[in-house]
Amino acid sequence: MAGHPLDFGLSAAAIPHVEYQFATGDRVDVMFENHLPDRTVIEVEVDGERDVCVGIHQAIKYRSLAAADAGYPLLTSRVRSLVVAYSTDYAKARELADRYDIPLISVDRDKVLTPAL
């Protein structure tokens, strides 16, 4: 997934950091920098409504950590987060994601497992 920034609405200049670690010790699956917005954190979940909902909660946390890590205000348009999963067709997950402005993106299993270039 880190090798496919264009598939997630990012620019070709986006620089991926896989398993990016914040000062808290938390690790986001992928963080992209050097594009607009300045940072995008991506939480990858496999499948299942419960896992996708947990991923949304993680994405909320990582969005805040990415903003603080860069010295941005917590509520900034310079940082966004999203959740990718093999399936995102879950009503509860969609409602939660919409409430916190976390895009859900269904991805092909092969793209998630492809290593960064």
pLDDT of 60-94, one tens digit each? 999 999 999 999 999 899 999 999 999 999 999 99
Which residues have a Cβ under 8 Å from the Cβ of 42 and sit 6 or more positions away? 1, 8, 28, 29, 30, 31, 32, 59, 81, 82, 83, 84
Look at residue 65 in the predicted model and tell me its pLDDT: 97
- Structural fold of domain 16-113: Trna Endonuclease; Chain: A, domain 1 (3.40.1350)
Domains of the chain, residue spans? 16-113
Look at residue 111 in the predicted model and tell me its pLDDT: 59
Look at residue 92 in the predicted model and tell me its pLDDT: 96
Look at residue 108 in the predicted model and tell me its pLDDT: 76
Q: Which residues of the chain have pLDDT under 70?
A: 1, 111-117
Look at residue 96 in the predicted model and tell me its pLDDT: 97
Write down the pTM of the prediction.
0.86
Distance CA 40, CA 115 (A): 18
Look at residue 73 in the predicted model and tell me its pLDDT: 95
